[in-house]
Amino acid sequence: MAASMKCAWARCLSTILLNSTKHRCQISQPLYASCSNISGDSGEGGTDQTRQEAGPADDTKKHRRDPGKAFTDVRVQKILLRLTGLDLDKVYEYRAAKGAGVAKVALMSDQQLKKVYESASYKALRKLQMPPVLGAREPIDEVLSEDPELEGLNTSKLVFIDISQRVPLKKRTIVVREPNGTLRKASWEERDVTLQKYFPQSGRKIGLPRMFQQDNLECMLDDGKHEYILNRACSQFEIDDPEYIRVTQRTYEHIDGNGKFEDLRSTRHFGPMIFYFTYYKKIDKLLVAFLEEESLEDSLDLVKLYHIVHPSCKSAEKVASMPDATPLEIIRAFAEMDATQKSLVQQAIQTYEKECDSTGSTQLRR
């Protein structure tokens, strides 16, 4: 019960901040612009045009490869931020890391304290910026020139990188002259390694860290280090790297298997995790977890998210036809029509209703 109260408070705080005029729910433009998979949608301001263009059709191969379009939809972003919540204690938890300073103690008036809390909350929202969920990048396959007469000149490859100033990493030219004389663009793996050598980014290693090898990853997951794995994956890989997708998806599946969704609550990985389950239609356990902590708003948000990401699903059409549906009716419609583990979800709904009847409140808690 205490956990759900804390969640409710975190949710409140997040909603207040999101709705305030100071903070606009804005997707980081430079971050998304650098993701080449996403087409030119800015995702800003919920105009009708954006709503029509965004949101994938169901069961098309194209969208299975590119969740980025759905992820950058403003409505999806708002729901994910709301669900993530804002637990200041968790966000500002002490982490033993370089640069972690000693805590300051200050004597303040109530007004000053309020101001500090506000600015800390806005900074915390920035810390909760979500790494985008994208499809795997397409392999680079471009040959610039074939020169079979150069065969025999070198037994090794020649890798050329352009180190001109002020060129974004993704646009840097890296080409490879093979021993057989072919001049081709460097593959993504070659690019990552070479860029890390010449333009090192902190927190990245050249090559795959042993932690992300399959066996070691399983050990880490069994130890419960989900947040650590996801944070390290974020700093090590590009977000459209197939390795990043493999690591994050395996982590989400492990969390799903053990029901430890709350580990990631109020971290920047909660949104992408929820989006992953919603996009691949695996939200049943998640929905049950929300209902078990008696959080009707979260459950409703999850189902709404499902309807935005899969607008042609059966329950979405039904809900569209009943404009005055109560939250429980919407969740029930989803359970009947689109849940893969129907009985589990319906049982959870029944349990929730019983609990509410016993505590005497069936209304949406705010």
Nearest-angstrom CA–CA distance, 277 and 291: 16
Binding region for another protein (CB under 8 A): 144-145, 147, 149-165, 173, 175-177, 181, 183, 193-194, 197-198
Shorter beta-carbon distance to another protein: residue 183 or 313: 183
Nearest-angstrom CA–CA distance, 265 and 4: 12
Nearest-angstrom CA–CA distance, 205 and 235: 9
Question: What is the strand order of the sheet 143-145 is part of?
Answer: 143-145, 183-185, 174-177
User: Least separation, in Å, of the C-beta of 244 and another protein?
Assistant: 21
Tokens 């049950």 belong to: 288
Query: Nearest CA to 50 among 66, 72, 25?
Result: 72
Shorter beta-carbon distance to another protein: residue 176 or 274: 176
Written as six digits, the tokens of 275 are: 């989006």
Beta strands 143-145 and 183-185: pairing type?
A: antiparallel
Shorter beta-carbon distance to another protein: residue 119 or 155: 155
Return the exposure string of 182-195: e unless at least 16 CB atoms fall within 10 Å of the residue's CB, then b: bbbbbebebbbebb
Shorter beta-carbon distance to another protein: residue 112 or 173: 173
Nearest-angstrom CA–CA distance, 196 and 207: 9
DSSP letter for each residue of 312-363: TSHHHHHHHH-TT--HHHHHHHHHHHT-SSHHHHHHHHHHHHHHHHHHT--S
Tell me the one-letter amino acid at 19.
Answer: N
Shorter beta-carbon distance to another protein: residue 35 or 169: 169
CB atoms within 10 A of CB 69: 21
Shorter beta-carbon distance to another protein: residue 197 or 314: 197
Shorter beta-carbon distance to another protein: residue 157 or 210: 157
User: Least separation, in Å, of the C-beta of 209 and another protein?
Assistant: 16
Shorter beta-carbon distance to another protein: residue 152 or 323: 152
User: Least separation, in Å, of the C-beta of 150 and another protein?
Assistant: 5
Helix (H) or strand (E) holding 175: strand 174-177
